[in-house]
Amino acid sequence: MRFERKDLLGLEELSPEEINFILETSESFVEISERPIKKVPVLRGLTVVNLFFEPSTRTRTSFELAEKRLSADTVNISASTSSAVKGETLKDTAKNIEAMSIDMLVVRHSAPGAPHFLAKVLSCPVINAGDGSHEHPTQALLDLLTLKKRKGRIEGLRVAIVGDILHSRVARSNIWGLTKLGASVVVCGPPTLIPPEIESMGVEVSHDLKGAIRDVDVIMMLRIQTERLEECFFPSIREYSELFGLDSEKLKYAKPDVLIMHPGPLNRGVEITPEVADGPYSVILEQVKYGLAVRMAVLYLLGGGKFESENLDQKW
C-alpha cells in the first residue's frame, strides 16, 4: 500500500486501512530513536517548516526532532515573532513561506479548519498539528500506537475519554481513530463540557466517572482547556476535580490492567493526581515516545515514502 494523500488534516477523512498503514509505518521508526546515532537520510535535501500559532511543548519538539532524525532541514516559526503580529494574513504568511521552496508545512492554529484552508492554497503537503477544538491527528495516531504496543490490538478495546470533551481536538481525533479501528468509546464529563449530539460519532455518554471507568481497558484523561473557556462551565475547579479528577480512590473502580493516558500538558491535582499520573498504570511518557515515531512516519509518507517501510533496517 502507498499513502496517496497530499496532506494529513484529520482522522475523520482517513479510512481504517490508511490509519493502520500509518501505524505500521510508525512501528518501523520506533527503533531509530533507540540507536546511538539517531539519524537516517530519508528526507535529506527536503525543508520542513513548523508554523505554530499556539503554544506547544510536545508536538513542536517532536516534529522538529522527527524532521532532524530524518535528515530534513527544519525551520520553526512562532506566530508571536512573525509578521502575523503586524497584521499579515494566514494565507499571505503561508504563501510567502512556500515561495522559499519548502517541501512540507506543519501548522498549529487556534482556528478550526486553518490547516484545511492552507492545504487548498499551498502546493506542498500540510500537516495539521492541532486546529482549535477540531482535530489533532498525530496525537490520536500516537495514542493508537501506544495502545497497539501495550494491548496488542485496538479492536475490541473499551476506552473512556474523560474531561473537557467540548473543547478537545484530542478527543475528537481519538473518537474517529478508535471507532474506525473497532474500539468502543465512552465520553465522560459534566454535561456542559460534552458537545450536544456527540452520540452521532458512535460514542456513549456518561456523567459519572466511577461508573464510566468500571469496565474500560483505557482511561484517557483530558485537561480543562482554560484558553478556550469563554464562559463558566462548572462551579469551581475544586468541584470539577472532586467529580471528574482521577485519583487513587476512584482508580479502584477500574480494571486491574487499565492504562491511564493523557495527551499533556497535565494540570496536576485538577484532572489527575500526581500519584496516578506517575503511577504504575500510566503510559503518559510512552505516548510522548511513540509520538516521535508517528511524526517520523507521517513526514516520511507525505515526503514521498519512496522506501518500503519494511526495508528501513536494510537501507540504514
Give the interface with ligand CP as residue ranges (CB under 6 A). Answer: 56-59, 130, 139, 263-265
The least CB distance from residue 268 to ligand CP, in Å, is: 15
Using the minimum distance from each CB to ligand CP, give the nearer residue, 40 or 221. Answer: 221
Using the minimum distance from each CB to ligand CP, give the nearer residue, 265 or 279. Answer: 265
Question: CA–CA separation, 35 vs 271, rounded Å?
Answer: 36
Using the minimum distance from each CB to ligand CP, give the nearer residue, 57 or 96. Answer: 57
CA-nearest of 121, 123, 90, 88 to 107 is 90
The least CB distance from residue 58 to ligand CP, in Å, is: 4
The least CB distance from residue 228 to ligand CP, in Å, is: 13
Using the minimum distance from each CB to ligand CP, give the nearer residue, 57 or 83. Answer: 57
The least CB distance from residue 137 to ligand CP, in Å, is: 11
The least CB distance from residue 49 to ligand CP, in Å, is: 17
Using the minimum distance from each CB to ligand CP, give the nearer residue, 19 or 220. Answer: 220
Beta carbons within 10 angstroms of residue 66's beta carbon: 28
Using the minimum distance from each CB to ligand CP, give the nearer residue, 182 or 265. Answer: 265
The least CB distance from residue 266 to ligand CP, in Å, is: 10
Q: Which three cell numbers stand for residue 255?
A: 480494571
The answer to whether the beta carbons of residues 135 and 173 sit under 8 Å apart is yes
Q: Which three cell numbers stand for residue 143?
A: 495514542
Residues near 4 by Cβ (< 8 Å), separated by ≥ 6? none
